[in-house]
Structure 1
């Protein structure tokens, strides 16, 4: 009887605390101000928040001002509320051709010159497999073109293709190569889609190289090139890349922190992140609108992190909170990748990343959590969502590879548990595609009552995780479990 009474008392206590937390968020959340933030960030004035456009400064200045006004503090080592990110914008060449025997690959058709300088001449080809460090080791590539497959056997996500391309280019140059050509041979991704998206100026992280190596993809779905190289049929090739322009771009991640209240747990951080960029100006729609406002993707997520800053600055949890608004997600997850490679806080102190991003929604009764089921904090996220009358569901469209298409993956690869908190969708259907990277993604097309529940749920989920006595980890058997053990130790 006494045990039953004790259990009931504990249950009532937990329920009371949970209800008190929800009520405080309800009371403190300023819906009108949040909608005003959303309206500004998704306004035509910012012209779609292209990270290479001058209007981007209006976005990052506004966000940093909001974090400062909220009371969040600059991170030591940052430039005020910014982490400066050096980018290079590389335009398509005026001419790009790669000729092997009777076959010619042409820019925009079956060749994409993604980065580097102009280069013309006839060069020997060397197949380097997937272009891993081991593949390059001991090879003299002086004056030759290195040819590899895109990605790696276990890394074929969109972000992997570009980040690995940068690594391979650096290794190819170190071994004396004059260019790196990667064979695009992923049948599940239509080349036409790739060519349409990449046959435009490409942004990369600038590592300070004054003579970047030419880097390109060729369409080779049938794996013809390695056979021709192996048999000597394609021992050398003619390359003509002309009219290549590279322009430096100053990028900025917006970062801040809020100190936790627990003397021990405050040395651990829950990172709340969202990308604030979008795709800028594109093809006009039927009404002639060419500004892709990016309300759903990802002004809504940006406003969630800004409002989390406002709440936690006045109601700090036990753990510290890192607030991170990334630039250039739409260019290949570049801002978050730069932070992961150049962290302002040691990565092993970041015990969880609750990222927020999304393409849109088609069900306002749910929140879709990309990665639900993969960390031990899942129950806390689900509880927070349920307290606002919604239901947390797992990724309903795994074929889209969404986990690997958002900033969270750059931290998951390091071992940090990192799901993405997305607007509710039950399928990647026409209702999603109606607004995803479209000019129609404006504030007046959004259910703002649902957006408010989304914002509040996100704050409550973050609060529960930041107050938990138990550090979240990957569930046993997850692909990132070993990376987590390496980062934090075998806890």
Structure 2
């Protein structure tokens, strides 16, 4: 029996999966819920009607919320909405009567003359973008530079061979070699290239995106600027490059270095490099909204499962062809937040044995910062957090026969989810979309860095047995709606 099917985006299917996975997640998984648990789950899911999550999505993606950007009043309205929903559902606050985790951020303001000089070539905006010197606002570095191709040092490849980059500026190519681009394991390894450069002693890291590798329809300086934000101590879960050179300017540097893709002798000296970073630095705040269902089993209530879903989106952008400027973020991530609220609605009635934490996190679009704050300031000890279930995105109007389990293969979560799903006749597949090839594109990455087994659940690709229909719809979303006013 397909217990979790729904006529609205397969939503009850996802809620059922996360409810069961959240209840049974452990080192030793059961093949499915026992009869008593299934009966309780069935009763709990009766409260989840299509109208409930639709109402959440409708409100959170309304123009009134101005795209829920970090630091904007629209996000604060969304925050208070989720606070009210947590209280209505009956979740326990985390501090006295409060559900809020507040955290401080730094935001890059106006560029005050940042520039990158490589030999005789001087680059500034819009050909180059610069990461601020967060704690001082201005910093200057000068020294030798080395180009190391893609900067890969894994899976039998070493682009650093013969190069000493200690105390130098390292230049890396954006993207992957052709024979790496479809390999999930290699792509994941390549995602750590900035960390690899730092471990090898690089003082500065610069990324190059040459003209023939620019995203379709984009060129340097023409895309809407994205706000750059970090934690108040300058940290973030992913290390950033110090500067990035795009388009013809990057191509010109590669031509000057006489580098071609087929060149096997990648690493080479590029002369003297001077990097000046000068920015205004602003301070702002954001919040996570966190509620708890205390565990019902005295022996396991000190263990927890964390549901995460980012509440923010990207706010206001230049007008599109229809004159719309508000990125409402219905799919990204009002749907994910509605899924989490619906999961809480069901689980509070099941009284699971472990404590369940629900975290609607802020500042995901600015670098996974809300989840990064949570794992460094957890409401339940990280050491006894047994799993994270992240909900980021969905699709309305299509019933899928499967779900996507991003990053589950990095822990025992893959086996658990497949066992639970298999018992319900629901398939499991991997995400093939560009942003998810590495599997680290959402808040589950912060939990992964903290050593917590994690999964990022999404509707799958198979529709009435057709494995390509959902994929076609997903790619249409990426091309026409994602991070655009059309996502409404």
What are the Cα deviations for residues 154-196 of structure 1, in whole angstroms up to 9, with x where unaligned?
A: 997699679959x969x98xxxx7xx44234699963757866
Displacement of 1:259 after TM fit?
0.9
Which structure 2 residues correspond to residues 128-167 of structure 1 after superposition, within 5 A? 146-147=169-170, 149=172, 164=195
Which structure 2 residues correspond to residues 473-488 of structure 1 after superposition, within 5 A? none
Preserved CA contact (<8 Å) 1:74 1:255 = yes
Gap regions ≥5 residues in structure 1: 1-12, 443-491
Flag the 1:435–1:217 CA change in 2: closer, same or farther, 3 A: closer
Displacement of 1:324 after TM fit?
1.0
- Structure 2 residue 131 is matched with structure 1 residue 114: yes
Give the Cα–Cα distance (whole angstroms) in 1 for the partners of residues 227 and 384 of structure 2.
Answer: 36
What are the Cα deviations for residues 407-458 of structure 1, in whole angstroms up to 9, with x where unaligned?
A: 112222333221111134432422553332222222xxxxxxxxxxxxxxxx
Preserved CA contact (<8 Å) 1:127 1:226 = no
- Structure 2 residue 271 is matched with structure 1 residue 234: yes
Flag the 1:193–1:270 CA change in 2: closer, same or farther, 3 A: farther
Which residue in 1 is equivalent to 2:142?
A: 123
Give the Cα–Cα distance (whole angstroms) in 1 for the partners of residues 43 and 190 of structure 2.
Answer: 38
Flag the 1:272–1:80 CA change in 2: closer, same or farther, 3 A: same
Q: Matched residue of 1:405: which SS?
A: coil
Which of 475, 485, 488 is the equivalent residue of 1:429? 475
Give the Cα–Cα distance (whole angstroms) in 1 for the partners of residues 64 and 193 of structure 2.
Answer: 31
Flag the 1:15–1:279 CA change in 2: closer, same or farther, 3 A: same
**TM-score normalised per structure 2:** 0.69
- Structure 2 residue 83 is matched with structure 1 residue 64: yes
Give the Cα–Cα distance (whole angstroms) in 1 for the partners of residues 401 and 35 of structure 2.
Answer: 24
Which residue in 2 is equivalent to 1:29?
A: 48
Which residue in 2 is equivalent to 1:482?
A: none
Task: Please identify which structure carries the higher helix content.
Answer: 1
Which residue in 1 is equivalent to 2:321?
A: 286
Give the Cα–Cα distance (whole angstroms) in 1 for the partners of residues 241 and 418 of structure 2.
Answer: 48
Preserved CA contact (<8 Å) 2:44 2:347 = no
Give the Cα–Cα distance (whole angstroms) in 1 for the partners of residues 423 and 342 of structure 2.
Answer: 16
Q: Matched residue of 1:35: which SS?
A: helix
Which residue in 1 is equivalent to 2:418?
A: 379
Give the Cα–Cα distance (whole angstroms) in 2 for the partners of residues 226 and 91 of structure 1.
Answer: 36
Gap regions ≥5 residues in structure 2: 1-31, 154-159, 177-184, 260-266, 462-469
Displacement of 1:251 after TM fit?
1.1
Q: Which moved more, 1:27-36 or 1:192-201?
A: 192-201
Give the Cα–Cα distance (whole angstroms) in 1 for the partners of residues 285 and 100 of structure 2.
Answer: 11
Which residue in 2 is equivalent to 1:183?
A: 207
- Structure 2 residue 283 is matched with structure 1 residue 264: no
Flag the 1:54–1:262 CA change in 2: closer, same or farther, 3 A: same
Relative contact order, CA 8 A, sep 6+: which one is greater? Answer: 2
Give the Cα–Cα distance (whole angstroms) in 2 for the partners of residues 231 and 395 of structure 1.
Answer: 38
Preserved CA contact (<8 Å) 2:93 2:292 = yes
Aligned pair count?
Answer: 403
**TM-score normalised per structure 1:** 0.68
Could you say what the CA RMSD is over the residues aligned between the two structures, in angstroms? 4.4
Which of 405, 417, 420 is the equivalent residue of 2:456? 420
Which of 379, 394, 399 is the equivalent residue of 1:344? 379
Which residue in 1 is equivalent to 2:441?
A: 405
Which of 311, 328, 332 is the equivalent residue of 2:346? 311
Which residue in 2 is equivalent to 1:50?
A: 69
Displacement of 1:49 after TM fit?
0.7
Which of 232, 237, 242 is the equivalent residue of 1:215? 242
Give the Cα–Cα distance (whole angstroms) in 1 for the partners of residues 405 and 81 of structure 2.
Answer: 28
Displacement of 1:308 after TM fit?
2.3
What are the Cα deviations for residues 294-329 of structure 1, in whole angstroms up to 9, with x where unaligned?
A: 111111111121222233334311111011111111
Which residue in 1 is equivalent to 2:334?
A: 299
Which structure 2 residues correspond to residues 314-329 of structure 1 after superposition, within 5 A? 314-329=349-364
Flag the 1:124–1:357 CA change in 2: closer, same or farther, 3 A: same
